[in-house]
C-alpha cells in the first residue's frame, strides 16, 4: 500500500471518529494522514474543524489557511477559517472569507446568511467605536432604578426583600430547577449587589484558609446548571464553614447560564468572604456573543440586563492566592519569567480582555508537556512547559498553581511534576465530550489537593448552544 493509499484510509477512520464526536482521536488520525501525504487540502480542512470542536482556534486557523494554500477553490477551507477568526473575535477577517464563499456560491443561502450576520457585527463594532468617549463611560448600573420595577401580582417565585438569606438561595435553586424564572427586579438586585462587592476587590485576591478548614475549588461550569446543583449535593451548599472558589467560565455553551450565574452571584452576596469567583475567558463580550450567553439573557430577560452583566464581568478578580502558597487563575502562566504576584494584583482589569499581556495570559494560556513556551493552540495567550511553571512557583514562593480552561477526561489533571493542576467541572461538556467533572478540596494546613469526580446528571431537553449566534452553525 502506498503512502497516498494509507493516508486515504487514515482519513476515512478519522472521519468515523469525528462522526462519533471523538475529536481528539480524529485529530490524531488526520495528523498521521497529513504526515503521509501533506498535499491534500481536505486533510487540513478536516483537522481544522476538529480543532474548532476542541476550541484550539489557533491551530484551526493555521490548518484552514494551509488548506486554502493547497487549493484556492476549497470552499470549506474559507468557511472554517472564518469560524476560527470569529472564535478569536476577528470579525473583519471572517467577513473577507465569507465574501469569498458567496462569490463562489452566490445562491448559497447559508453562506449569505453568515455573510450578512458577520457584516452586522463588523458594522456594530465600528459604530460602538465611533461613539465611544474614552474619558466617559456610561454605566448601565446607574440607569437602573430597582424600586421602580413592579412585581406583578401573579408572580409566585422567590422574593428578595432587604437582605439575601440561605432560605432565599435554596428557593431560587428550586425555582430554577423547575424551569421557573427569578423576577427581573430580584435578578437586578443580585447583579447590582455583587457589582458593589467586586468593585472593592483587587485583581489578585488573597484568601486565608485556617489549618483545619476545608476549601473547595471548582473549574468551568459553562451553563450546566443541573451539574452545578449536583456539585452542591456532593459537597454541600456554600456557607461560612464550606467556602468555595469558582474559577471562571460560568456561562456560555450550556443553555442554563442565567441560572448558573445568578446562583453563583447570589452566594457571593450571601457569603462575600467565603465564596469567591475568578474571571474566565468566557466572561467577555466576544465569547458571550458567539457562544450563547448574550442570546440567553436577551431571551430570558433583556438586552439591558446583558449589558449590566458585561459591566460586572469586567470587575471579576483575575486570580486568587490561597494562604500565599497556591495561585488559582482560569488560564495559565505568562510569556516571560519575571511576572510577580504584585504585578497581577496591579492589573487594571475593568475592561474587555486584551489580546496580549498579563490579563490575557491569565485568562487564555495552557500548559504543555514540552519545556519552554510555544504559540497558543487557541491563538491567544501562550503554552507553557514544566520549567516555566517551576520557575514561576520558585520566583513567587508558591507550592503549585491551579487552573481550569480545558476539558479533561477525568475532570482534572496533575501535570508539571505536581505543580500545575487543572480542574474542569462541566461533565459531558456540551452533551458530547463524555468527560467527567471534578472539583478539588483541600485543608488549610497543607493545601494538598483531593479530587472528587462525578458524571453528568439529566437536564431538560434544551441543547447546548441553543442561544448561540447563528454564525456558529458553520459545520
Active site residues: 282
Contact 188/160 with Cβ under 8 angstroms? no
CB 217: neighbour CB atoms within 10 A? Answer: 26
Rounded CA separation 52/446 (Å): 39
* Number of DSSP helices (H) and strands (E) in the chain, helices first: 17, 14
DSSP string, 356-383: SSHHHHHHH-EE-SSSSEEE-TTSSSEE
Closest to 323 measured CA to CA, from 413, 431, 243, 221: 243
Residue with cell 459591566: 311
Could you tell me if residue 372 is left (phi over 0), alpha (psi between -120 and 50 degrees) or otherwise beta?
left
CA atoms within 13 A on the CB side of 344: 25
Which residues, other chains included, contact 58 with Cβ-Cβ below 8 Å and sequence gap of 6+? 84, 88, 375, 376, 377, 378, 379, 380
Q: How far is CA 219 from the centre of its chain?
A: 10
- The residues, ordered by sequence, that sit 6+ positions from 243 with a Cβ below 8 Å of its Cβ are 209, 213, 214, 215, 216, 271, 274, 275, 276
Helix (H, G, I), strand (E, B) or coil at 255: coil
Instruction: Answer for the pair 451, 437: CB distance below 8 angstroms, yes or no.
Output: no
Place of cell 494509507: 6
Position of cell 427569578?
Answer: 182
Beta bridge partners, 422, equal: 403, 413
Residue 137: partners with Cβ closer than 8 Å, 6 or more residues away? none
**Hey, how many other C-beta atoms are within 10 angstroms of the C-beta on 70?**
17
Q: Which residues contact 50 (CB under 8 A, 6 or more apart)?
A: 14, 18, 23, 26, 27, 30
Amino acid at each position: 500500500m502506498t503512502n497516498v493509499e494509507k493516508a486515504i484510509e487514515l482519513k476515512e477512520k478519522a472521519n468515523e471518529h469525528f462522526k462519533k464526536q471523538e475529536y481528539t482521536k480524529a485529530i490524531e488520525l488526520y495528523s498521521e494522514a497529513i504526515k503521509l501525504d501533506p498535499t491534500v487540502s481536505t486533510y487540513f480542512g478536516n483537522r481544522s474543524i476538529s480543532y474548532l470542536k476542541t476550541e484550539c482556534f489557533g491551530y484551526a486557523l493555521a490548518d484552514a489557511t494551509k488548506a486554502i494554500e493547497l487549493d484556492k477553490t476549497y470552499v470549506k477551507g474559507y468557511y472554517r477559517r472564518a469560524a476560527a477568526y470569529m472564535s478569536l473575535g476577528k470579525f473583519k477577517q471572517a467577513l473577507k472569507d465569507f465574501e469569498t464563499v458567496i462569490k463562489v456560491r452566490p445562491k448559497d443561502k447559508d453562506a449569505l446568511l453568515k455573510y450578512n450576520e458577520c457584516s452586522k457585527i463588523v458594522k456594530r463594532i465600528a459604530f460602538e467605536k465611533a461613539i465611544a468617549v474614552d474619558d466617559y463611560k456610561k454605566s448601565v448600573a446607574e440607569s437602573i432604578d430597582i424600586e421602580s420595577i413592579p412585581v406583578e401580582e401573579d408572580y409566585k417565585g422567590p422574593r428578595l426583600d432587604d437582605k439575601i438569606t440561605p432560605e432565599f438561595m435554596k428557593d431560587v435553586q428550586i425555582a430554577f430547577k423547575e424551569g421557573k424564572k427569578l423576577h427581573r427586579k430580584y435578578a437586578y438586585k443580585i447583579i447590582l449587589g455583587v457589582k458593589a462587592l467586586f468593585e472593592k476587590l483587587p485583581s489578585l485576591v488573597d484568601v486565608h484558609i485556617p489549618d483545619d478548614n476545608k476549601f473547595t475549588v471548582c473549574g468551568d461550569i459553562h451553563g450546566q446548571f443541573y451539574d452545578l446543583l449536583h456539585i452542591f449535593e456532593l459537597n454541600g451548599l456554600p456557607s461560612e464553614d464550606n467556602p468555595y472558589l469558582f474559577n471562571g467560565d460560568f456561562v456560555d455553551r450550556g443553555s442554563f447560564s442565567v441560572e448558573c450565574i445568578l446562583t453563583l452571584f447570589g452566594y457571593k452576596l450571601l457569603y462575600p468572604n467565603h465564596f469567591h469567583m475568578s474571571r474566565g475567558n468566557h466572561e467577555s463580550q466576544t465569547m458571550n456573543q458567539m457562544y450563547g450567553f448574550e442570546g440567553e439573557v436577551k431571551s430570558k430577560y433583556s438586552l439591558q440586563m446583558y449589558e449590566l452583566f458585561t459591566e460586572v464581568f469586567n470587575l471579576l478578580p483575575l486570580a486568587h492566592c490561597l494562604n500565599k502558597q497556591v495561585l488559582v487563575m482560569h488560564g495559565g502562566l505568562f510569556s516571560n519569567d519575571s511576572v510577580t504576584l504584585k504585578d497581577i494584583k496591579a492589573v487594571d482589569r475593568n475592561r474587555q480582555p486584551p489580546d496580549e499581556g498579563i490579563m490575557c495570559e491569565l485568562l487564555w494560556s495552557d500548559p504543555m508537556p514540552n519545556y519552554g513556551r510555544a504559540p497558543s493552540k487557541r491563538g491567544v495567550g501562550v503554552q507553557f512547559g514544566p520549567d516555566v511553571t517551576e520557575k514561576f512557583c520558585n520566583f513567587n514562593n508558591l507550592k503549585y498553581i491551579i487552573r481550569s480552561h480545558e476539558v479533561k477526561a477525568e475532570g482534572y489533571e496533575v501535570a508539571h511534576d505536581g505543580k500545575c493542576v487543572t480542574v474542569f467541572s462541566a461533565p459531558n461538556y456540551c452533551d458530547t465530550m463524555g468527560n467527567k467533572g471534578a472539583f478539588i478540596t483541600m485543608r488549610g494546613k497543607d493545601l494538598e489537593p483531593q479530587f472528587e469526580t462525578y458524571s453528568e446528571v439529566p437536564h431538560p431537553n434544551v441543547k447546548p448552544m441553543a442561544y448561540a449566534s447563528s454564525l456558529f452553525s458553520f459545520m
